[in-house]
Structure 1
Amino acid sequence: MPATTHMRAKSGLTLLVTAGLLVLAAIAFLAINVDEEITQLGSARSDNVQWSLSQAEVEFLEYARQLDNPTDVVQLTRRFDIFYSRVSTIETAEVFAKLRAHNDAEERIAEIRTFLNESARIIDAGEETILTQSQALKDLASDVRPVIRLLAKSGLEVFSRSSDQQRAEVAQTLTQLAVTLAALIGALFIGVLYLNRLNATLAGRERAQAQTATRMNTVISTSLDAVIVSDERGRILEFNPAAEATFGHHCEDVIGRDIGEIIVPDHLRDAHEAGMERMRRSGERHVVGKGRVQLEGKRASGQTFPVELALQSAKTDDGEIFIAFLRDISKRVENEKALVEARDRALAGEKLKTDFLATMSHEIRTPLNGLLGNLTLLRDTRLSKEQDRYLGYMESSGRLLMSHISDVLDITRYDAGKLDTRSEPVHLSALLEDIIDNQSGMAVENETTLDWGWDGEPMHWIVSDHDRLQHVMMNLVGNAVKFTRRGKVSVTARVDAIDGQNQLRLDVADTGVGIDEDLVDQVFDDFVVGETARNREVGGTGLGLGIAKRFVHALRGTISVQSTPGAGSTFTVTLPVQAATPPALSASVPDLVGTPQALRVLLVEDNEMNRIVARAMIEADGHTVVEAHHGREGAELAESQPFDLIFMDINMPVMDGREATRHIRAQTGPCRNTPIVALTANALASDQTALLEDGMNSILTKPLSRDALRRVLAEYGTEALEEADPMLVNLDHSAETRQTVGEAAFAKLVARFTQEVDDLLAWLGSSEPHDYLEVAARSHKVAGSAAIFGALQLQTTLKELENATRSGDTSAFEHSLRKLPAVWSETKPRLL
């Protein structure tokens, strides 16, 4: 505060002095102007300009009088020359500049110059010419005489006005000088008043500063932080009570001593001294004004401890001072250390959990792969009706177990931030229709109406993640059907443009039991299944909605629910979407009749059960299999023998699949460029990406399925077709249909169905372009007819064709299209 007041007072005085100097400068300038004007007036009288003009007229009259006696040629010439000189002076002298600037005077001078030039030709010609031309000289003189008189008169007028103007300018300058003197006197008076006021203000501020200083001393003395004030040499000036408590020194013992000696630990003393010296020498500062920094301090006992320091500087009359605010943060550092250790333990536990789940995924999927694979192989044998039913139960249980494993892994991936989504064209209408078809059986069983539709203009193709969106909607629709009896479930799709962004809204409304009020806010939590009898009846793990919520959030959307117990529920999913261009099918439909081609396959797998199952599935399609029990054996076989395709397990002893793949790719053996397909139970996307980076071409997730193996075999060069399945037709179902409609009607239906399939095959085999929607529609229609006659394999193949068409999967489309004729040729005789 004192420095601020002093600066303002100094600024006021500087302003007054500056104003006074400006006024004095103005007075000096005006005085110089007055002196110059007076000098100019005196100069004009001394030059006697008017006299010069009059004298020129006198000389002309003398010359004209001499013309009356032209015989005295010498005298005549002398008078002409004198007049000539006077006119030349008028033409060139600076004093006649104002006269020459006058328009009339300029013209008269020009006329006089003409007279002089004409007369000079005669006079300069000699005495004889002068005598003979004397009359011409008289006539010239007579003509110019009025002009000379008017010139003299003009001169009198011009210089008279000039003198008047000079006198007016002198008077104006004197007036300005007087006004300036008055302003100076006024400014001095105002300055006196200002100084008096400033003096009173300074006195008041000094009192305020004294009070402020008292308050500041009180604040410093009562501050919980240690406050130490030192000069620019590092000598302590103030040491508050908090500093005494923090560092263990008494104030009177440290005043005047070096601050480094008192509070800086010995091992930091050299750095402190170097910093002080650098600041004194160059002004460079690393800590001053940089906010709070964490350092070490030293107590009187020599103990070092962590402190938080904030250092500021200030200018005083005695020089620069430094104010240090220090805080003992020993406890905080200990707490932070404990938190870091707890965080590290938590992260380690999270990583351990993720690793555990990944490992358990592999360990569980491995035996599950053997179980489901053997069930698939068992399905190929001839079974009794009761055995077929038991086999179906076992397959359902296995798929349910796999679903639970996938749910847990999905939750883990999301919570670990590793849940990946894909952006691809999705046929939303087909996706919803498939879900409705899938759940229609349960809806009929519950005597519930199930439908779906668009509200407003439909957007069939969108950019989204097909699998994630299908999972969400399957869960919501499945729950709605599961909890609704003798009611209605409706799925409504709507697209609205909000702020230039398309928002997809999917509503799943049911008239079922509803959700209790105390569960509405928890329905998306994990393991929430409710307590009603209906909940217990339908069962469930309580993970479905939790996973659905995670998937929706991963797609940058929201999910919510509104429910009334006993009246039903409405789940709403809102997602930002973009319209997608439908993927085009191949312009040329592949031949419907393919030539089977056997592949030589290397199967690298350490689990015996998995090898047995995979080998049986591959050999069932006519391919040759060579087995390797670990990665090194597989790499050695790949170096010595050619193979068309390699199936490589990942977790194996001796050498794992990744290392074996890198080894094969790095060698120059016959399998260096052979496609390698990873077999893994680990579904984490990051791990799968690493497998592809190692040189693998694609990935198959365990447990393996026959369809998945066949798709891979087809993708990498096989054109083999599925062999005839002895259970192509469910004969019991076919017999039941025959009995229901009668023998004659059944024969007509079979004939009609046969023609329908033949027409579809003929149309698909034609060269005309095929629209994907029409292919999907006709396949869907024929698949429905196949279900009536129990043609299970034909129905499955047509559904595969439909799904591949709707999703734009060209490879799967071509594979299903190649299978269809063979399946039909085996199915057709069994229907008759």
Structure 2
Amino acid sequence: MSSLSPRIATLARTVRPVLAIVLCIALVMLVVLGLRIQSALVGLRSEATDNLHWNLSQLEVDIVRLSEEIRVAQNDPAAPLKELRKRHDLFYSRAQNAIQGKGFSTPGLEDLSTALSAMLAEYLAVETPAVDGSDAALRADLPRMAAHLDALRDTLRKTSIQIIERLAKISDDRRAALSLLVSQVALATFVTIGMLACLLTMVLMSSRAALREARHTAQVSRQLRATVDSALDAIVVTDDKGDILQFNGSAESTFGYTRAEVLGRRAAGLILPPEIAAEPGDLAPLRQVDAGRFQTRALDRAGRSFPVELSISSAEGDEGRIYTAFLHDISDRLAAEAEMTRARDEALAAERAKTDFLAVMSHEMRTPLNGVIASLEIAARKAANPEQAHFIALAQDSAQLLLRHADDVLDITRLESGGMKLLPQDFDLETHLANLVEGLGPVCTERGIGLRFDMLTPSARLNGDPFRLGQIVQNFLSNAIKFVETGGITVEAEVTPLEGAMREVEIRVIDTGPGIAAQDQERIFQDFAMLDPSFRRSGGGAGLGLAIARRIATAMGGEIGVESAPGEGSCFWLRLPLAMAKDSGTAAGQPSAAPSLPLLDILVVEDNATNRAVLDEMLRQSGQRVEMAVDGEKGAQAAQARRFDVILMDISMPVMDGLASTGLIRARGASQRARIVAVTAHSLPADLDRFRAAGMDDVLVKPISSEALARVLKGDSVTAALARPAVLDMTRIQDMQETLGAATFARLAQQGLVDMHRLARLAQQAASAAAPSDGLEPLCHEAAGGAAMIGAERLRAHYSQAEAEIRQGQAEAARDRILRDTESFLAEAETALRNLL
């Protein structure tokens, strides 16, 4: 039965309009037919046919009487004519009435009535003058009048008979038409009664369906009420005026009111605090229908204002629109978020402070080193004999090592962010290690420590980053020198074949120091980890060296470790896979030929006299035309007055810094289009972006080498390698492999690559939209996190930069970045990961 009810209701809804239309048509037909019947009856009531019969009969009687009077007058010449004239006048009057009466205008009698009227009119026109004349003339005319009257009588009788026949037919036709109208009215009445019966049936069916629906609605309402009462969220239902209609149990717990206390009361001012309303009684929070979840504040019985998450829906009720509010107290969640935000802000502030300190420290240390290293390069070119060249080379190596010490504090930041770029080149392992050991020889001699280098296998020319390798070995040696008091230090190296052209290099630094306990051997590779003996030494340290060494070794695909026991000394080792050199290259110790450079007009803007002298010497030795300026203001004036090809611009200067000077040069003057290169010790990515935004084309990071200077003069970029992060964060990958296991990490990395392809596709679609920032920022945030999880550092930096640009209002730049670089960065990350796995 329940399954038939919807069908019946559907059928009723379908048929009801048709029945209503048919009923309306039937009612219209009844009205029309009724009007027609009424019209027919009115016609019958006003019918003039009876008068026509009587007039014709009277005419014939009058003709007979007039004929009798004429015969009397003919038979008795002395008879008076008064009665004859009287009879003629009566006939005349009757004939005029007949001619002008309605009977002669009856439809269907026009031809007969016209002929009869013409005959009567003719008779009267002919005989009336004689009747109205003298008696003698009248007596003379009596024979003719009698004949004329007899003819008229015969014609009148025949015409009357024809008129009566036609009137009979007309009456029959009218009765038939009236009978048809009555039949049509009966049919329309029957149809109307049938439609009314059908409609009544449907009304009864609809009424029964409505009763069933009402019972179902009541059941659903009971279920809904039970659901609302048992819901965990507070649910408040109000009408359009804001009066509370429903208040569930969770709402009672949240606000402290019972349901009976709030029903019928205004929500504003009771559970909504006055401060969120534009005016008293304003229900703005309850008007935000279909706005999703949003946050506002609510008021409990004790007057406490607390944050809630609110969602509103609305519906039309019997008495107008009603609003259903779902509220959830989020005080605890917001407190936790606030605590997390505070902790994050403190961490970010500490990170920013550390970054600022590192940038200042780097700048202060690199600026004087720039003069030292550049001066040594010039001195090496002018060395008069091999002994001088030898000591200058040792000084250069020591200066480079000193620079590496200054870079240690920056290396941690670069390594953690994947910003360190390896610079592979061909080098001779034995020569490189021998130079490192020889550079530290004087220090060991001064401390009374023996230092020896042994190449245990034949040396080989390898391809790798000799500076980073030397940084690790230098760190091992520095630690050994600090802790060894008596005895000596031995550096051993050996090269063993691996697959194909690959070789494994193992370097060991063995000392006779106090040794390291087993429980401390892993801890010493952590950041800022220092063992107790180091605190008692004057040399000290920040505890970063071994942490940096491990990260560098991991980035190069190798590993480091220690073997030690208390009282037995230590052996720090490095194992590193390196490829064989592709060609013999320049012989060790043989200076390379100076590059061929174009002849340029160069302006050097530098406040430090030593740096000016060094740059002047380096540029003039390559044949350049050089002009100097001691601060940014004088540099801008010189550049505006004369056209230069290249401007080397220091950043930190008195009077006017390099950024302001660059802005003036780009604004006007002869050197607007010159190539402006920043000369600075600032090398963090944020600094590089700031320099480019000011209008600079490139950056030379102090200390400046001849090679980097030559590349700038030839127009090559020297910042791409500096600012470009590594494809993979090997430290991150190694940590995950150690924590999760290689197999688990491989599986997660495969799934991560699938997610990266999906997010790349979504990000590119969002970047192609009209308002990319609306959906692009969360996608970039998610993609950056996913890339970091699988160690795809360059891809992570790509998404992070796009996210930062969107937050800074540079949505167009972020869109271009996503559309331009995402595919290539994802492809190289996938290739590198698959090769690694």
Higher RCO (CA-CA < 8 Å; seq separation 6+): 1
**What TM-score, normalized to structure 1?**
0.44
**What TM-score, normalized to structure 2?**
0.43
